[in-house]
């Protein structure tokens, strides 16, 4: 309470034995962020075609299984 608001603070119904409800208020800072456009960029693509000679060893695996017919054996004219 200050000198400026003493009348408003003391004005109102007299305090009695009845239950009174008062809502208290507090100030608190509220901060937030938002996404806003700040800059525009332009993208472009450049197609580059190159030819390059490569060399390396190519490996091959063969699997042998007993009792399994291969496509070559199924389609042979001997059958």
Q: In this predicted structure, what is the pLDDT of residue 63?
A: 82
Q: In this predicted structure, what is the pLDDT of residue 64?
A: 81
Q: Are 10 and 18 in contact (CB under 8 A)?
A: no
Q: In this predicted structure, what is the pLDDT of residue 33?
A: 93
Q: Kindly give, in sequence order, each residue whose CB lies less than 8 Å from that of residue 79, ignoring residues fewer than 6 positions away.
A: 73
**Global pTM?**
0.20
Q: What is the mean pLDDT of each run of 10 residues along the chain (79 residues)?
A: 68 73 89 92 92 89 77 58
């Amino acid at each position: 309470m200050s000198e400026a608001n003493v009348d408003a603070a003391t004005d109102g119904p007299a305090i009695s034995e009845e239950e009174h409800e008062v809502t208290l208020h507090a100030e608190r800072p509220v901060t937030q962020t938002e996404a806003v456009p700040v800059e525009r960029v332009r993208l472009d693509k450049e197609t580059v075609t190159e030819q390059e000679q490569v060399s390396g060893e190519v490996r091959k695996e063969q699997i042998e299984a007993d009792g399994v017919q291969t496509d070559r054996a199924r389609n042979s004219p001997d059958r």
